[in-house]
Amino acid sequence: MENQGSGRPAQLVMSAKVWQILIAAILGTALLVGLGVWQLQRLAWKEALIAERDARLNSPPVTLDQALKEFDADHPVEFLKVEADGVFQHNAEAFMLTSEGGVPGFEVVTPLQSKEGVVVLVDRGFVPEPLKDAAKRPESQPQGEVKVTGILRRHVASRGPFSPDNDPEANIWYWWDIPAMLAYARIAPDARVAPFVLHVQPGEAGKTLPAPLAVDTTLTNNHLQYAITWFALAALLVVMSGLLIRQTIRKGS
């Protein structure tokens, strides 16, 4: 009788421990599965975003006026191909510090006065540092009306946490600041300006300098790996919890 009486508290303690493990396992598994499902939802969102971006990149170019209308209507315009006719304002070139193939130099950013009366910044490509002075590359400054096709970028979050301040006085820019660049170009305050940049792509401007730089259009998509990780952790938690419950029951028997 004494053994039976002393065994009941031990069984109750064992039962309480099992329930604690079980509840913790259920809550933990639910959390991990929920995170996995969330990553699958993010995967679907990212794949739709990539498909939308690819569609814009592979579509025929739109006019600058059409791009502005899309922008004003708050439609997605990033990575849209845009075609513009106008005259370059070479006296207002800006220079973005960069390197290409290990060679230090600059991206040449030139305002284009379009025939529609809109000023748009055009990233025409790379020149090595010794050729920053336009007098050393006169062939790089076409005169008269030109036709430009480029990839539209808004550059709304261009500055990195360690980027230095831009230096308009020296005309050296470390990150994109479209309003400041337009101000540097002395664009009239009442002028109609495009709130984005057109990046000329390789093959669009012949073989003369500046050499167009390919726009990075890749979009990181690791959500499937993240989902698999969360589901694997959920499965591992179930197995480990089962083993722990089994061990607890054996100790109590």
**In the structure, what pLDDT confidence band is assigned to residue 17 with cuts at 50, 70 and 90?**
confident
Is the model more confident about 21 or about 16? 21
Same domain for 108 and 26?
Answer: no
206 — alpha (psi -120 to 50), left (phi > 0) or beta?
A: left
Domain presence at residue 60: no
- Domain hosting 160: range is 80-200
Task: Tell me whether residue 206 is in a domain.
Answer: no
Identify the pLDDT of residue 188.
80
Q: Which residues of 72-100 are buried (b: 16+ CB within 10 A; e: fewer)?
A: eeeeebbbbbbbbebebeeebbbbbbeee
Determine, yes or no, domain membership for 119: yes
How high does pLDDT run on average in the chain? 89
173 or 247, greater pLDDT: 173
- pLDDT tens for each residue of 135-148: 898 888 989 999 99
- Average pLDDT for residues 195-202, to the nearest whole number? 93
Residues 98 and 184 in one domain: yes
Confidence of residue 11 (pLDDT cuts 50, 70, 90): low
DSSP string, the chain: -HHHHHHHHHHHHHHHHHHHHHHHHHHHHHHHHHHHHHHHHHHHHHHHHHHHHHHHHHSPPEEHHHHHHHHHTT---TT-EEEEEEEE-GGG-EEEEEEETTEEEEEEEEEEEETTSEEEEEEEEEEEGGG-SGGG-GGGS--SEEEEEEEEE--TT---TTPPPPBTTTTBBSS--HHHHHHHTT--TTSEEEEEEEEEPTTSSTTSSSB-----------HHHHHHHHHHHHHHHHHHHHHHHHHHHHHH-
Position 114 in a domain? yes
If one counts the domains in the chain, the total is 2
If asked whether residues 48 and 94 sit together in one domain, one would say no
Query: Which residues pair with residue 98 across a beta bridge?
Result: 105
Q: Please say if the pLDDT value at position 246 is more than 90.
A: no
Q: Are residues 90 and 175 in the same domain?
A: yes
In a domain? residue 144: yes
Q: Mean pLDDT across the stretch 191-213?
A: 85
Residue 69: pLDDT band with limits 50, 70, 90 = very high
Statement to judge: residues 37 and 127 lie in one domain:
no
Residue 150, in any domain of the structure? yes
84 and 195 share a domain? yes
